[in-house]
Amino acid sequence: MTSDESVRPRTIAELPSAWRPFRALQQRMDDGIADAYTALGIEGVPTRFSAALMFLEDGAMSIRDLAERCGVTHSAMSQSVAAMRKKGLVESEPGEDARSRIISLTARGREVAPQLWKEWYATEDAVHEAASEAGFSLDELVAAMNAALDREPFRDRFLRRMGEQRL
């Protein structure tokens, strides 16, 4: 690697990226899910809303509780709730304290949530099927990468490589 400006990449596509193939694969699968949603009549429901809509099937809850269940920040969930509200999937009302909002499914949200549960498990099955067909397990890859990082943490690998770079 070099920082010589005459040979530096000039676009993101020219930069080396260990992540790009993984992100492209995930996007390809997400696009397949979106196409399947259309085929199933689940219109206007981005895949990123699935977990929130599924968990709201249990009943109304605060944005904070929904964010916790989905493993995202309060801020991220607030943005998702605003987008889901615009799509007519959820509604909100003031909570016990003026700063909180209670989120619940609309009739449209209640209609799609059960399908999203099926979609979630069908997605998992399809991923495992494709990985098996490819001849390896994503779970095994992740376990092997975690074992490598247990031997030498990513921070240490990164700093070692930074010391090797020529500026």
**Per residue of the chain (167 residues), what is the pLDDT tens digit?**
555 677 889 898 898 898 999 999 999 999 999 899 889 888 888 889 999 999 999 999 999 999 999 999 999 999 999 999 999 999 999 988 878 899 999 999 999 999 999 999 999 999 999 999 999 888 899 999 999 999 999 999 999 999 877 55
Angle at alpha carbon of residue 123, lines to 26 and 150, rounded to 5°: 55
- Rounded to the nearest 10 degrees, what angle do helices 107-134 and 20-40 cross at? 130
Token pair for residue 112? 């799609």
Token pair for residue 151? 């031997």
pLDDT at 166: 57
CB 19 within 8 A of CB 86: no
Token pair for residue 143? 């376990």
- The amino acid occupying position 149 is L
Angle at alpha carbon of residue 76, lines to 105 and 116, rounded to 5°: 40
* Annotation: CATH topology of 12-135: Arc Repressor Mutant, subunit A (1.10.10)
